[in-house]
Amino acid sequence: MSNDRPLVGILLMIGFCAVAPLGDSIAKLLGETIPLFELLVVRFAAQVVFLLPVVWWSGKTLLLPSRVMRLTVLRTALHIAGIGAMFMSLRYLPLADAVAIAFVMPFIMLAFGKFFLGEDIGPRRLAACSVGFVGTMLVVQPSFLTVGAPALLPLLVAVAFSGYMLVTRQISRDADPIALQVVSGIYAMIGFGFVAMLNLGLDLPQLRMVKPDMREMLLLAASGFFGTFGHLLMTWSLRFAPSATVAPIQYLEIPFATVIGWLIFRDLPNGLAALGIAITIGAGLYIVFRERALARPVTPVQPAPDPQSVQ
């Protein structure tokens, strides 16, 4: 599949921006009655159930290089931490606020690239990071006054997913993305099994499994489906178009989350949070377009011919 159909890639990323908040909103609804551990188990179990047939049908293998397998363990742990922190934050925060705060991730990614990969940030991107972080704090501030420390959970989401993307960048060329998701889901289920056995002696409330009613079962299935399908849409978008093309589109997730949050929960960001969201989006888009400009190959300037040599 070639990366020469940018319109298809953009449409797929728009689909992701619409689907991802739907999955989060369902998790917010279920958070009132379903323990966090059960939400995570269903989310990663659905990842295996939905994607394993795709791997079999396409004839791909789940056997990955040993280096990739080791890094996949770390990637899975970061994925679980990121989704878990998002699900927990949605119990306290409006959907749009939680999503907007988590969009501090591009700034954290630049910092990780600087400290772990030795990449040069530069003064302009550093300034954009500072402005974006100020915007994020404007979103956090009213929520922090209302709910306290849980308002910081989306920052943990951003840190976890920044590490997740950093590891994914290291192994993306050596593994099929769908097979990688299946292996990650299998690792997650193995880890959840150990946690469940450990909780037999601890009996922590958020690590329990409860029997859902029919409505909750349908919502759990929908949460797993939207979570898995959204990730596939993002993966497919990057197959049809380069990341520089689709990255700006991902910021549409914030207005989608705002609309969905209002329709389902009647939640809207207040004036200060709305200003912070606008600042965060502006700074993030600046970084995206700056990265695109720096990645663009420079065409060497041909020297003008010497008039004497022409004669």
pLDDT of residue 3: 45
pLDDT of residue 156: 94
pLDDT digits (tens, 9 = 90+) for 31-45: 989 999 999 999 999
Scanning the structure block, which residue is given the tokens 């939905």?
50
pLDDT digits (tens, 9 = 90+) for 206-254: 788 899 999 999 999 999 999 889 888 887 887 777 666 677 778 888 8
Contact 254, 100 (CB under 8 A): yes
- Looking at the chain, how many residues does it have? 311
Contact 41, 191 (CB under 8 A): no
pLDDT of residue 120: 67
pLDDT of residue 243: 64
Q: What six digits make up the tokens of 248?
A: 């700006």
pLDDT band with cut points at 50, 70 and 90 for residue 49: very high
pLDDT of residue 92: 92
pLDDT digits (tens, 9 = 90+) for 89-99: 999 999 988 99
Q: What is the pTM of this model?
A: 0.81
Selected residue with higher pLDDT from 220 and 274: 220
Element (H, E) at 274: helix 271-295
Q: CA–CA separation, 280 vs 193, rounded Å?
A: 39
Nearest to 275 by CA among 119, 135, 65, 91: 135
User: What one-letter code names the amino acid at 283?
Assistant: A
Q: What percent of the chain has pLDDT over 90?
A: 34
Backbone phi and psi for residue 115, each to the nearest 5 degrees, phi listed first? -85, -30
Contact 285, 127 (CB under 8 A): no
pLDDT of residue 39: 94
pLDDT digits (tens, 9 = 90+) for 50-85: 999 989 998 888 988 888 899 999 999 999 999 999
Inter-CA distances, 67 with 70, 71, 73, 139, 277, Å: 5, 6, 10, 39, 39
pLDDT of residue 299: 55
pLDDT of residue 117: 63
pLDDT of residue 304: 54
Q: What six digits make up the tokens of 150?
A: 């849980």
